[in-house]
Structure formats: structure tokens, C-alpha cells
Amino acid sequence: MPDPKPSISYISVTVLNTLIKHKLEEEDDLRGLAVKGEISNWKRYRSGVFFDLKDEKGSVISCILWSDNYLYLPFEPKDGDEVIAYGNVTVYVPRGRYSLQVAMIYPFGQGAALLALEALKKKLAAEGLFDESRKRPIPRFPDAIGLIVGKDSAAEADLIRNITRRWPLTDIYLFPAQVQGKDAPKSILTALETAETYPLDTLIIARGGGSSEDLSAFNDEKLVRAVAACPIPTISAVGHEIDTTLIDYVSDLRVSTPTGAAEAATPDQEEIRRQLLDLEERLENANETYMSNLRQQVEHLAKRPFFTNPASLYENAIKETKNLEERLTLAEQHRLLLAQKQLEGYAARLKSVNPDNVIKRGYSVTLDESGKPITSVKQAHKGQRLNTKLKDGIIVSTIEEGKN
């Protein structure tokens, strides 16, 4: 019998396509591409747009533009348009087909300018000029607002009308500038430098919508850096919602219209009035509640005995004083009685040791001439006169002899 065939290591087509996908998508040279070509087979679906890019030599690459990115296109592409598509190479694993996943499309005529703009944007971002941490809050109640706008433009009229309507207490300073054309960056920069010398709380830079070329002045590097360094909180209101310029990134706040800028820069006086009326009502209610509580406290205090019978405040004190007085009298009497009994005891004891009382019981006491008692034979001597005291008198005698 022949030997069995040796085992062979293999992978599936899916695994192979997946490996190719990972290799291509991780390759730096195939990411962030700017591909020039002519659009063909432009087909839009709910999920996105599928189309081809082809060049003059007939080479073709399939492309996919998802709906989220389609919303930000600066124009509506169509078959036959020569464009620059920005994106990354990707692979559709089930079919093993590679394609360009597109993030943005620009008309080819604007390609060089857009590439330069993208490079400047990355440069400024790397320096931190777009960081949210450096954004300042817009003052809520401004005393003075500066406007850098085209002279007698619709943006100027819109801003003045809405600022005056919303917050007439603020002063408006106009700094007219050329907002379109080759001299526009210098004109706007001059207006900005002038505005910085005024006591402004907020500075608005505004103009209406337009093409990318019309708005290019607001991408000027020197102007963008000046706006970033401006000491006054700035609001950018250039173009419409879909338009974005570099000063939008460095301003403290970006809005889509001049009306939006006026609303962002000022409080609404009607809203403030409603808030004040609400606060007034709440204050009145709080005051009424406070006064009601005070009245209840006064009524409660008025029912106390002192207010219904003021004499009660000292009647109890009088009663307590009398009670203490009685207790003090009784204590004094008791103390005197004890002292009296003690004295009587002392008197009885003294009476019991009184020599006169001893004599009255039949005893006598012998005294010398000075009246001192003779208590020992040693105190007597021959010839000494003595007085012997008896219960009924005194006997006077003279010592002839003393014996132990």
C-alpha cells in the first residue's frame, strides 16, 4: 500500500484577503493620499457614494465616500469632474478588492491651495493654537463690543440690529475692513490691531458666505496668528455652517452666522427681564413666608404666661424667695436650739465640777492667804495662816506642824 500524502498547511481565501487588507491599511505610504483623477460612475446611496477615479492613461481605482464625510464636501461632484480625493487605501475582504476610502474631495483647480492650507492647518495645530484649553469664555454682559466687518455689509447691519435688540446697554465699535481679495488679510489685520487699542469686552470678526477663494483671506497665517494672540475674547462668524476657515479654530468661539455671533456675544434683554421678574416673584414669596413665620412666632410668644400675666415673671420668684426665707428661719432656729442644748450640757458639766457645790455636799477646801488652794503638805509650813472654807463659813487657823 502506498504511503499517505504528507499533511499540507493552508489558509482560506478570507484569511488571505484579511492579511492583504491589514498589510495595505498599515502601510504609511498608502495612508493620507491625495489622488488626482476624473470622476466616473458616481452613484450615491444612503450609506455613501461609490465611484471610480481614472487618469489620462486609463488606470482606474474604485472609491467609497461614506455619508458622514459626504455632508462636508465643499461642492457637489459629478461624472467628468477632475478632482483631488484625499483618503486611505482599504480592502473589501469578501471580494478581495482594494479601493480608496475617501474622506474629502476638492476640485483639481483648488488642489494646490488646499494642500498648502492643509499643511498650514497641521502646523498651527501642532503649535497648540487650536487647543480648547486656551479658549476663553465670552463675557456675558459686555459694555463694549467691536465688529470687524465689511463696510456697509449685510453682516454689519445684521450684527448691529441684533446686538441693539438683544442688549442695548452695550456700546458698538465698528472697524470696517476689506473682507475679500488679495488686500483683505492686511486690511483685516489693520482693523484687528486698531480694535486692540479700544476697551472692548468682545470682538466679532464676521462676513457672509462665499466660495473657498472668497474666504481665503481668513486663512492667512499672519492674520490667524494675530487673532490667536488677540487679548480680547473673539468670536468668528465667517461664512456659513459648511464653511470653515483657520480663524474659526483660533477664535474663542465659532458661530455660523452674524446673527449667531450677536446672540453669543450678548444676553437677551427679554430673557433677563423674565429672569428678574421671576426673581422678584420668588423674593416676594420668600419675604411673605418669612413675615408669616415671624407673625406665627410672635403669636406663639404672645400666648406665653409673661405676656398674658406679666406679674407671673416675678410671682414665682417671690414665692421661691419666701420659701427660702422660711427654710432659712427654720434652719436658724434649729441651729440655735442645738447651740442652746449644747450650752446647757456645758453648764451642767461645769456645775458638776464647781468647788462650791462640792463644799455644799460636806466637803471643805483649804486656801493660803492669797486664796490659792493647798493641795499638798509640801505647800504648807509652820506658822502659815490658812483659810478653810466650809459650806457655812470660813475657819482661820495657823499651822503648827505638817505630816505626810
- 3-class DSSP assignment, residue 246: helix
Q: Which homologous superfamily is 143-267 in?
A: Response regulator (3.40.50.2300)
- Check residue 362 and give its pLDDT: 64
- Check residue 404 and give its pLDDT: 66
Going from the C-alpha of 284 to that of each of 102, 142, 279, 280, 292, the distances in angstroms are: 63, 29, 8, 6, 12
CA 162, 164, 168, 170 dihedral sign is positive
Residue with cell 426665707: 325
- Check residue 358 and give its pLDDT: 66
| H or E segment and range at residue 236 | strand 234-238
Lookup: cell for 127:
503649535
Q: Was domain 13-125 assigned CATH 2.60.40.10? A: no
- Check residue 269 and give its pLDDT: 93
- Check residue 390 and give its pLDDT: 79
- Is this model's pTM higher than 0.85 or not? no
In the chain, which residues have pLDDT < 50?
Answer: none
Ranges assigned E (strand) in 315-374: 365-367
Q: Which residues of 120-152 are buried (b: 16+ CB within 10 A; e: fewer)?
A: ebeebeeeebbeeeeeeebbeebebbbbbbbee
One-letter identity of residue 300: H
**Contacts with 159 (C-beta within 8 Å, 6 or more apart), sequence order:** 147, 149, 172, 204, 206, 258, 261, 262
The total of other beta-carbon atoms located within 10 Å of residue 204's CB is: 30
Q: Is 18 exposed, middle or buried (0-12, 13-18, 19+ CB in 10 A)?
A: middle
Q: Which of 165, 224, 170, 175 is nearest to 195 (CA)?
A: 175
Euclidean distance between CA atoms 126 and 189, whole angstroms: 23
Q: Which of 180, 139, 138, 173 is nearest to 156 (CA)?
A: 173
- 290: Cα within 13 Å, side-chain hemisphere: 6
Contact criterion met (CB below 8 Å) for 247 and 222:
no
What are the residue boundaries of the structural domains of the chain, listed by start?
A: 13-125, 143-267, 309-353, 355-398
